[in-house]
Each structure stands twice: as structure tokens, then as C-alpha cells.
Amino acid sequence: MQNEKLWNALQSLTFDNVFVDALMRENRWDRDFTQNAIKEYRRFLYLTQVSDSPVTPSVVIDKIWHKHMTYTRDYWDGLCKEVFGRPLHHEPGRTPADAARHAEQYRHTRALYAACFDQTPPDAFWAAVEPSRKSKRLMLLIASAITVLAGMATGRVDVVLGSLLVVVVIWEIGGMPLFAMTPRSNSNNSGGCATCGSSCGGGGCGGD
């Protein structure tokens, strides 16, 4: 451990049942997941202090960070003043350039996690970086167009129909089914962190 004193101080932080229950209710997490997520949040807090550049949390960790900041005495006095000796700000990303920067910071954060804790960040709490939905849609559109055009070039109806079937399969495998019902959005499970930042990166924010 690079800084045992800091790590021990973070272990002494307490998150009471009111805090845990609020996270469970707002995010629809079970108690076991929530308790483990808080452990990962402590690790993120550690990384913010030992990193030589801004770090970015995952979406799960960022939700806990947001909640923690609403407990102003615990966050600003108990954590920032007493443990860190300085503020830890959360600054949202607002532009595509911010999103790209936070994505890179998130990669750095995952690599630093592995170096500090001698293990790969668990995917349940630190999801790997994936292409944005817009980028994925563009790639699927290109693949679909190529498939259909190749089928039409043969001049055979059966091949064209077959290519259309392949397109449906491509979108299904890509996780964006063409004929799926669009679920009603749920703000508690929005999977994105597009507006955050001491430096948060799994979804779009950071911390320094």
C-alpha cells in the first residue's frame, strides 16, 4: 500500500444505515451490492489522493460520490478537512471534449487501481470502457449498409432477403435490437455519468 496512513483513515470513515438505505432505495441496489460498492468508493477516494493526475469514477462509484456530498458535514469536514486536508471537488463535463478527456482519465484510473490494489477493478463496480451508444449505432449502420448492398449486388431476391436477416442479427448481437420495445427511462438507473467531476471518467466526470 503506497500510503498506509491515508488508507487506514479512509477505513475509519463510517456510512450509517440511513446512507446505505438511501443508496439502496434510489438505485434499486440490494444491501450486499451497496456495501461492496461503498468499499470500492473508499478505494476510489484513496486513488484521488495518490494519483499524480485527475481520476474518474465509474457510474456506480459516482452515484455514491454524489450522495456522499449531500451529507455536507461528513463530506467536507469529516473527509476533505480531516482525512485529506484539502477539498475534493466534483466538476461536471459539459462538452464532447470533456467526455473524451474523462474517458481517458477513467482508463488511467482503472490502471492505477490495478497497480495500487494488485487486482483488476471488479466489473460489477468498475465497468470497462465501452463505445458510446452513438458510436455503436454508427458502426452498426455501416455494417448493415455494407451487408445489404452486397446482397443487392447479386441481383437475387433470396440473397437480398438473407442479407436483411443478417442485418437483424447484427443489431441483436450489437445490443441494439431493431424491433425491441424502448423501455421507459428510469432516472435512478440511467447508466451514465455525463455531468460530473473532481474528475469522474467512467461516464463523464472527474476529481482533483
**Residues 22-55: tens digit of each pLDDT:** 999 999 999 999 999 999 999 999 999 999 999 9
Q: Which pLDDT score, from 0 to 100, does residue 189 have?
A: 34
198 and 90 in contact (C-beta within 8 Å)? yes
Q: Which residues of 99-110 are buried (b: 16+ CB within 10 A; e: fewer)?
A: bebbbebbebbb
**Over the stretch 88-100, which tens digit does the pLDDT of each residue have?**
998 777 777 878 8
In the predicted model, is pLDDT for residue 196 greater than 60?
Answer: no
Q: What is the pLDDT of residue 156?
A: 85
Mean pLDDT of 174-183: 54
Q: How far apart are CA 117 and CA 146, in angstroms?
A: 45
Query: How many Å apart are CA 94 and CA 38, to the nearest integer?
Result: 27
pLDDT at position 178 is 59
Distances (CA, A) of 105 to 56, 202, 204: 6, 8, 9
Has residue 144 got a pLDDT over 90? no
Q: Taking Cα atoms as reference points, which of 201, 33, 190 lies closest to residue 129? A: 201
Q: For residue 191, what pLDDT band results from cuts at 50, 70 and 90?
A: very low
Instruction: Give residue 78's pLDDT.
Output: 94
**What are the structural domain ranges in the chain?**
1-180+194-208
Judge whether 72 and 19 are in contact, CB under 8 Å: no
Q: For residue range 107-128, list pLDDT tens digits in order.
A: 999 999 999 999 999 999 998 7
Q: How far apart are CA 68 and CA 3, in angstroms?
A: 23
β-bridge partners, 206:
91, 199
Do residues 76 and 85 lie in contact, with contact meaning Cβ atoms separated by under 8 Å?
Answer: no
Share of the chain above pLDDT 90, in %: 52
Taking the model in full, what pTM does it have?
A: 0.65
**What is the average pLDDT across 149-163?**
81
